[in-house]
Chains A and B, each alone.
Chain A
Amino acid sequence: MSNDLQDQVHDQMSRRTFLTNSGIGLGAAALSAILPNTAQASESNHKIGPHFAPKVKRVIYLHQSGAPSQLETFDYKPKLEAMWGQNLPESIRGGQRLTGMSAGQSSFPLAASAFKFAQYGKSRAWISDLLPYHKQIADELCFVKSMHTEHINHDPAITFIQTGNQIGGRPSMGSWMSYGLGSENQNLPAFVVLLSRGRAGDQPLYAKLWSNGFIPSVHQGVVFRSGIDPVYYLNNPNGIDKSSRRNMLSALSKLSEDQYKQVLDPELDSRMKQYEMAYRMQSSVPETLDISKEPDSVFNMYGPDSRIPGTFAANCLLARKLAEKDVRFIQLYHQGWDQHGNLPKDIQIMAKSVDQASVALIKDLKQRGLLDDTLVVWGGEFGRTNYSQGKLTKENYGRDHHPRCFSIYMTGGGIKRGISYGETDEFGYNITKDPVHIHDLQATIMHLMGIDHEQLTFKFQGRRYRLTDVAGKVVKPILT
């Protein structure tokens, strides 16, 4: 199948339309009958991958927006306790660009974690007291402590991790997956987005993060809202019943098809598909998102928040339900990890909102046998500084943005569980071993889904684009 807009239009023009409409005669018409009908073939299951056997069929990406501190969670640095309050040596900082928020500080006092660390599980993974539930799954996780990124501010950094580029306009990771692998489930979008808030005054999220960019808009992420109306304008207005909706759509689709033949705009094709998808979603979405039939034991597992729609815990439960329905890419965003000040107190609010639910999700996936064909990724867009932003006291401090290192974890099919990959220096400032760039992470996620990140491209404005731009290396040591 062509992955190229111009080629697609060209195909339409040259084969089907030309042969049948130009009246060359019976022979030509017969010829066109044996040529593949591109429009029809791409109707339901657009697919140009996988390029090789996948390890997993779906991804649940638990994005922690605002960037949780690696130094309070998984990257234990006793040196910071020993050197508490001392200035960050210039030799370590190495001229690193700082944000305007702490660049003007006269000193950069090293701040140790307010939370105690210990090692857990057979894998002896370091986890702080901030995330007590995570201690229970230490052996299920693959920690990557050597993540690094290119920008120091939220918008470009989060855009980078989602789309492979700091500036918006490129397709999101989930859109690439939808484009490359299609969807097994015909009644739900391949790329679903669930949003939640941790605390007030969060960094904003933007629709460009789940945008399809320049690839056909059927691949854009669909946001499911909490509450009785999960997708805007999905339900029929009063007075319109299912059959009249069906009639209207069928008539509209005929008109669109006629217009498509004239103008060959692939967006028309996209729009028709989206209308049809929306029609099917009228019944599939309420059914999938209905958590009222879940037993109490499940709510107890995900924690009390899971009964409140729109929380991270409730979204984790929905993520599991969407995974059961074979949605290809399930993207959660949880806002509120931007602790520039008052970190010890604020980060606890955040940790509490995700700790139990994240762990419950992983355990729930596991007992249902879903963890073997699902990849779960948990992490933010960058790390946080080892020095305090603002005044450092024993009780209080803050941390500024830090792109040079941060920690994430992954688990699921094809990933080695119970390992820790990559190391940072004793200050927790620079990577000393096995750095993993954002593009490497993206290449690895694609690899697990059976996609060669260098092969999945889309031609736009004269150039072929891909999620990993011109970089990215699969992180093989963490794969089984």
Chain B
Amino acid sequence: MVLLKVSPSNFEILIGRLHPLVIHLPIGILLLVALFEFLARKEKYTVLRPAIIKMAFWGMISAIFSCVAGYLLSKSGGYEKDLLVWHKWFGIVLAVIATAFYIFKKIEKEFKQFGIVSSAIFTIMLAVTGHLGGALTHGEDFLTQPLLSLLGSAPVKVVRKPITNINEALVYNDIIKPVLEQKCVQCHNSQKQKGNLRMDTPELLLKGGEHGKIILAGNTNESEIYKRLLLSEEDEHRMPPKGKTQLTEQEIVLLQWWIQTGAAMDKKVANLAKDDKVKTILASLQVGAGGQETNEYGKEVSEFLEEKVPNLATKDIESLTKMNISVDVLSPKNGWVSINTVNNTGFNDAQIGLLLPLKLQIVWLNLGDSQITGISLKTIGELINLTRLNLENTSVSDAGLQNLSKLKNLQYLNLVNTPITNAGLEILKEFKSLKKVYLWQSKATLVGVEALRKALPNSEINIGEELITIKPIESK
């Protein structure tokens, strides 16, 4: 008996679910009817007339079937009520018009302009009904949102502030909510409430749906939301259903962590206990540091600014690689670039201008062993994001160094085997960002170096290394 009772409703569900498929038949057929009707007014196309009646028949049948299927589908619930009412009645009226059209054709009771007027009416009806149906499935702003953006008048899409310090981030607002918004809210919102569940506000999320609560704080394994995430993709209870965008493994881990630690709406990341796996995933959410993650020992210090610079133009790269200058992208995320003239020791002051188009991107510049002189330092001073500069074995002079004072991020300066003297070191005293300076085999003296060390107490000034020779120990 149970079987008898259940099977019709399953049959109903099946028919209902055919609605999104068959709905395209009346749309296509009736549009063609309208087109033929329009064309057949011309002498040349009168041959089409007999086809119109055949097509009108099938348009009627498919429209009626769509109505029935749509009604059955609407019984499964979860659709926004106002929209649904409008869609339903437009659909029914459309089917009625299609039927009337066929009957009038069949009995050949046509008044003047009948064909063209009625086909114009159902074309408009098709557009309206179709749109309402689309709004039901995809949400009301499905079309309008991109359309308005295109016209430039869309309400500015909320751009989430990137997480700069993961420990200060709010677990729900900054981590969980974005996931739900992307992957769940589409079907569980104020307009569409599949399973009578809304997930667009914290209160409603905790309230649950037709089967009760979906989140049991501290008990992830019994929480409906989590159980459904883990079901096989073939399972009808699986969420998000097959075909929709799925949560990533990391997102599931984060959700599990959030529920397990109490599903709090106001806690910060720092306040919740986390294991290694969660820590790793959390670290990856933090922007910047060129993809380097944080660890419990503190953040790996990134040498470069976290901002993103524009991508390089191919022609600028080519003009350098043609000269055998190697251009290496150091951080694909930020666009930082390293330039090295190791393959072109003839590189000189005349060519230094080639670097200018890349003046924002270059962070490491190695001109060691090249032919440049102090003149080039003027151009190098324009490369404002430089952090490491190799000038060893060149003839750069004291006078040019002043040009480098604009390099506010310069941390490493290699002046090994250059004619730099104590006068140059006087200039370097103002370079507060410097962390390492190499002066071995330069003309600077110990006195100058000591003065520089005093002026830059946090930087390491190297003037060469000494190895104390030791007599080897005798074997015992």
A373: CB under 8 A from chain B? yes
A residues near B343, Cβ cutoff 8 Å:
184-187
C-alpha gap A143/B328 in the complex (Å): 31
> 0/1 per residue, A120-131, Cβ < 8 Å to B?
000000000110
A479: CB under 8 A from chain B? yes
> 0/1 per residue, A26-59, Cβ < 8 Å to B?
0000000000000000000101001111110100
> 0/1 per residue, A448-480, Cβ < 8 Å to B?
001010000000000000000000000011011
The answer on a CB contact under 8 Å between A372 and B336 is: no
> B224: shortest Cβ distance to chain A, in Å?
33
Q: Name the residue in B290, B333, B364, B465 with the highest tally of chain A Cβ atoms < 10 Å from its Cβ.
A: B465
B residues near A57, Cβ cutoff 8 Å:
338
C-alpha gap A112/B304 in the complex (Å): 48
C-alpha gap A186/B470 in the complex (Å): 40
Q: How large is the interface on A (under 10, 10 to 19, 20 to 34, 35 or more residues)?
A: 35 or more
B262-270, B292-300, B445-453 - interface stretch:
B292-300
C-alpha gap A479/B236 in the complex (Å): 48
C-alpha gap A300/B469 in the complex (Å): 9
A residues near B334, Cβ cutoff 8 Å:
53
> B449: shortest Cβ distance to chain A, in Å?
13
A residues near B412, Cβ cutoff 8 Å:
369, 372
A199: CB under 8 A from chain B? no
> A320: shortest Cβ distance to chain B, in Å?
12
> A287: shortest Cβ distance to chain B, in Å?
11
The answer on a CB contact under 8 Å between A326 and B342 is: yes
| Number of A-B residue pairs having CB atoms within 8 Å of each other in the complex | 112
B414: CB under 8 A from chain A? yes
The answer on a CB contact under 8 Å between B476 and A477 is: no
The answer on a CB contact under 8 Å between B301 and A480 is: yes
The answer on a CB contact under 8 Å between B331 and A129 is: no
> A180: shortest Cβ distance to chain B, in Å?
12
C-alpha gap A368/B366 in the complex (Å): 13
C-alpha gap A348/B472 in the complex (Å): 9
Contacts A51-B291, A300-B469, A364-B465; A369 near B438 (Cβ below 8 A): yes
B302: CB under 8 A from chain A? yes
Give residues 303-317 of B contacting A (CB, 8 Å): 303-304
The answer on a CB contact under 8 Å between A184 and B469 is: no
B residues near A50, Cβ cutoff 8 Å:
329-332
B459: CB under 8 A from chain A? no
C-alpha gap A282/B29 in the complex (Å): 76
A64-72, A87-95, A352-360 - interface stretch:
A352-360
B residues near A369, Cβ cutoff 8 Å:
390, 392, 412, 414, 416, 436, 438, 462
B residues near A55, Cβ cutoff 8 Å:
303
C-alpha gap A360/B466 in the complex (Å): 9
The answer on a CB contact under 8 Å between B467 and A360 is: yes
B440: CB under 8 A from chain A? yes
The answer on a CB contact under 8 Å between B297 and A325 is: no
Q: Find the A residue at minimum CB distance from B440.
A: A367
The answer on a CB contact under 8 Å between A368 and B475 is: no
A133: CB under 8 A from chain B? yes
Give residues 77-118 of A contacting B (CB, 8 Å): 114
C-alpha gap A479/B291 in the complex (Å): 15
> B217: shortest Cβ distance to chain A, in Å?
32
A242: CB under 8 A from chain B? no
B388: CB under 8 A from chain A? yes
Contacts A132-B470, A133-B467; A53 near B292 (Cβ below 8 A): yes
A residues near B438, Cβ cutoff 8 Å:
367-369
B residues near A185, Cβ cutoff 8 Å:
326, 342-343
The answer on a CB contact under 8 Å between A54 and B330 is: yes
C-alpha gap A345/B466 in the complex (Å): 29
C-alpha gap A171/B340 in the complex (Å): 28
The answer on a CB contact under 8 Å between A372 and B295 is: no
Which residues of A are at the interface with B, using a C-beta cutoff of 8 A?
45, 47, 50-55, 57, 114, 129-130, 132-133, 136, 182, 184-187, 300-301, 324-326, 344-345, 348, 352, 356, 359-360, 363-364, 366-369, 372-373, 395, 450, 452, 476-477, 479-480
Q: List 26 A-B contacts (CB under 8 A).
A: A52-B290, A53-B290, A53-B303, A53-B331, A53-B333, A55-B303, A129-B473, A132-B473, A133-B467, A133-B470, A184-B328, A184-B343, A185-B342, A186-B326, A325-B342, A348-B473, A360-B467, A367-B440, A369-B392, A369-B414, A369-B462, A373-B388, A450-B330, A450-B331, A476-B293, A480-B301
Q: Which 8 A-B pairs have the closest CB atoms?
A: A52-B291, A53-B290, A369-B438, A363-B465, A53-B331, A369-B414, A476-B295, A367-B465
